[in-house]
Amino acid sequence: AQAITPNRFVACAAYGDGGPWYIPVKEAYPQGGYAVGVAWCSPQIDPLMSNGIQTLLSKS
């Protein structure tokens, strides 16, 4: 996210109650591990989230 808008401060709020918890990148799913094991989403969420973040951050 920071690379999309290097001249602005980007912060991420995480680990709030009632949230989606872990959202692994699609490359993490074949590797397995804790984050993938407890994720409530599929690998298809990665490009959706990435595109949404890029759209929001590219607006002035």
Report whether pLDDT(60) > 70. Answer: no
Show the domain range for 14. 1-60
Mean pLDDT across the stretch 46-52?
A: 93
| 8-47 tens-digit pLDDT | 999 988 777 777 778 899 999 999 999 899 988 999 999 9
Report whether pLDDT(52) > 90. Answer: yes
Cβ-based neighbour number of residue 48 at 10 Å: 10
| 1-16 tens-digit pLDDT | 888 899 999 998 877 7
Residue 8 structure tokens: 């602005």
Counted domains in the chain: 1
Question: What does the alpha-carbon distance between residue 26 and residue 48 come to, in Å, rounded to a whole number?
Answer: 11
Question: What does the alpha-carbon distance between residue 48 and residue 3 come to, in Å, rounded to a whole number?
Answer: 18
Q: Which of 27, 54, 24 is nearest to 41 (CA)?
A: 24
pLDDT at 17: 73
Any residues with CB less than 8 A from the CB of 25 and at least 6 apart, and which? 46
